[in-house]
Amino acid sequence: MSGTFVGMPAFQRAAHEAVRNETLRGNLRHATHTIRAKRAHAVAEVSDWAELREAGKRIKDHTLRHLDRYLVRVEEAVTAAGGVVHWAADADEANRIVAELVKATGESEVVKVKSMATQEIGLNEALEAEGIHAYETDLAELIVQLGKDRPSHILVPAIHRNRGEIRDIFRSEMSEWGRPAPEGLSDSPAELAEAARLHLREKFLRAKVGISGANFVVAETGTLVVVESEGNGRMCLTLPETLISVVGIEKIVPTWRDLEVFLQTLPRSSTAERMNPYTSTWTGTTDSDGPKNFHLVLLDNGRTDTLADEVGRQALRCIRCSACLNVCPVYERAGGHAYGSVYPGPIGAILSPQLRGTQSEIDASLPYASSLCGACYEVCPVAIDIPEVLVHLRERVAQGGTVTREGTKVVLRPAKGHAAERAAMRAARWAFSHPGALRTGQRLASRTRRFHPRTLPGPGRAWSGSRDLPPVPAEPFRDWWQRTNGGKDGVK
């Protein structure tokens, strides 16, 4: 995965800096708390949330377990519907394929729907190097692109910017990219949205090539699904003559009917809405409606390596709702940039080190970017046990072990420089000053006992070489105390 932010310091250092940025923290706290409260309400409206969550988990697990079969089915169905399927083993290959497809149209401009996959592979930069300008059309992505910035949230990438900052960016940058910001632009959200509407409409109306990702791909029918709010997605998916969709191979669901689960859980979990304003589905090409040419690029880029890890593969169930970011106390304080990847927050902490490996300092530090409080697992609409994977990855970083890289098994040595332990101690310091997080963290530590290392990493190795580490108790003391009323109610 080429998506490591260049020159990015390890999580803890980046977080340390971010925590001192008052504006950033204020923006983030406001945003995550607002969306968190709304989400709880939206979820409570659906009485069968637990069953939907279980079905979502099972659909994704089943697909992953038979992924070879479903990939072939997607290829057959999309081809039969008039699309062309391409396979990309890594970011470079995907970028090359897309650049060639764009060049074949003779165009040097493309409009883009917000897509994590294309950010992950650094598509915009790769296209720029080929002389092709890619315009982000999602409002938040536009803010990020105009501000020469990095996204900091999966769903609301400009969450770290407030309205004043956005107005300043529009005023100073829009004219470089096309239609300038209107005279006297204020910082009211309605005026800012209007400025974006005018600026982008000019691009939509002349665009010949659109690039998107997809939220889901239905294997049975070859149908792609894009879920959005603004309508910029619909613009890019229907106005251009050529549509190129870059999609991670984990986005597949087996049948059309499976969408009934995710179209209920995704909007409520992400934007806390009963349904997002727009959803588009398309199957290949349709006569005189929408693009005449459709290309699907199936992207691996570390996903098969993730699939090879029996504990870590559950991260591939992720439907990118971003609920785990909004409940994470570490994300709330550190901000999305500290994660050094397009996938921030708890999901980023388990996905990036798996997609990219744990060789770099930032990736080795990510599994420690958590207090293990378990809130991310509770909200996840596909029940990814993020804390379990974090503990598993910590063990890998500290102890080394066998992992799969680019399809080949390799043996990792323990991380050098003891960054991991230092990070662990910092996380511990934070947890000890936050009793609530500590309590849930301990509960988790008990639940994941079997994953804990039996020897200490780094300098502690010699010490623990001749001693056993004290085992984590089956039940945290606090829980035992509460359950037994301080021992008065008997021990069992």
Burial class of 220 by CB neighbour count within 10 A (0 to 12, 13 to 18, 19+):
middle
The single residue among 274, 429, 449, 483 that binds other proteins, judged by CB under 8 A, is 274
Choose among other proteins, ligand SF4, none what residue 480 binds, the Cβ cut-off being 5 to 8 Å by kind. Answer: none
Candidate list 7, 22, 184, 205; residue touching other proteins; CB under 8 A: 205
**In this structure, is the dihedral angle defined by the CA atoms of residues 444, 449, 452 and 455, taken in order, positive or negative?**
positive
Residue owning tokens 């992720």:
318
Q: Among residue numbers 219 through 238, which ones bind ligand SF4 (CB under 6 A)?
A: none
244-to-75, 240, 286, 344 alpha-carbon distances in Å: 15, 10, 15, 26
The span from the CA of 462 to the CA of 469, in Å, is 12
Considering only residues 76 to 95 of the shown chain, the ones binding other proteins according to CB under 8 A are 81, 87-89, 93
State the nearest-atom distance from the C-beta of 434 to ligand SF4, in Å.
21
379 binds, among other proteins, ligand SF4, none (CB under 5 to 8 A by kind): ligand SF4
CA–CA dist 158, 170 (Å, integer): 13
Among other proteins, ligand SF4, none, partner that 136 touches (CB below 5 to 8 angstroms by kind): none
Of 63 and 370, CB closest to other proteins: 63
β-sheet bridge partners, residue 84:
295
Residues 343-362 that bind ligand SF4 (CB under 6 A): 347
Among 10, 143, 366, 379, binds ligand SF4 (CB under 6 A): 379
Is the Cβ of residue 159 or residue 398 nearer to other proteins in the bound state?
A: 159
Q: Give the Cα-Cα-Cα angle 258, 259, 262 (nearest 5 degrees).
A: 105
**Which of residues 185 and 325 has its CB atom nearest to ligand SF4 in the complex?**
325
User: Which tokens sit at 386?
Assistant: 């993020």
Least separation in angstroms between residue 322's CB and ligand SF4 is 5
Question: Strand 223-228 to strand 242-248: parallel, antiparallel, or no bridges (unpaired)?
Answer: unpaired
Instruction: DSSP for 82-108, please give it.
Output: T-EEEEESSHHHHHHHHHHHHHHHT-S
Instruction: Report the amino acid identity of residue 324.
Output: C
Smallest gap from residue 321 Cβ to ligand SF4 (A): 4
- Is position 290 an interface residue for other proteins (rule: CB under 8 A)? yes
Q: Does 138 bind other proteins (CB under 8 A)?
A: yes
| Residue 320 contacts which entry, ligand SF4, other proteins, none (Cβ below 5-8 A, type-dependent) | ligand SF4
**Quick one: what does residue 347 bind among ligand SF4, other proteins, none, with the CB cut-off 5 to 8 Å set by partner type?**
ligand SF4
If one asks whether residue 201 binds other proteins (CB under 8 A), the answer comes out as yes
Residue pointed to by tokens 């770290």: 160
**DSSP state for residue 286 in the 8-state scheme:** B
Spatial separation of the C-alpha atoms in residues 151 and 160, rounded to whole Å: 9
Contact positions with ligand SF4 (CB under 6 A) in 382-401: 382, 384
Instruction: Report which of 375, 389, 286 is spatially closest to residue 330, judged by C-alpha positions.
Output: 375
Q: How far is the CB of 437 from other proteins (least distance, A)?
A: 25
Q: Which of 324, 298, 400 is nearest to 359 (CA)?
A: 400
Among 71, 91, 373, 427, binds other proteins (CB under 8 A): 71
Q: Kindly state whether residue 55 participates in binding other proteins, applying the rule CB under 8 A.
A: yes
Ramachandran region, residue 323 (left: φ > 0; alpha: ψ -120 to 50; beta: rest):
alpha
Q: What is the dihedral of CA 359, 365, 366, 368, to 10 degrees?
A: 140
What does 264 bind: other proteins, ligand SF4, none (CB cut-off 5 to 8 Å by kind)? other proteins
Q: What does 420 interact with, of other proteins, ligand SF4, none (CB < 5 to 8 A by kind)?
A: none
Token pair 């980023």: residue: 348
Task: Please list every residue from 308 through 327 that binds ligand SF4, using CB under 6 A.
Answer: 318-324
Applying CB under 6 A, the residues found at the interface with ligand SF4 are: 318-324, 347, 379-382, 384
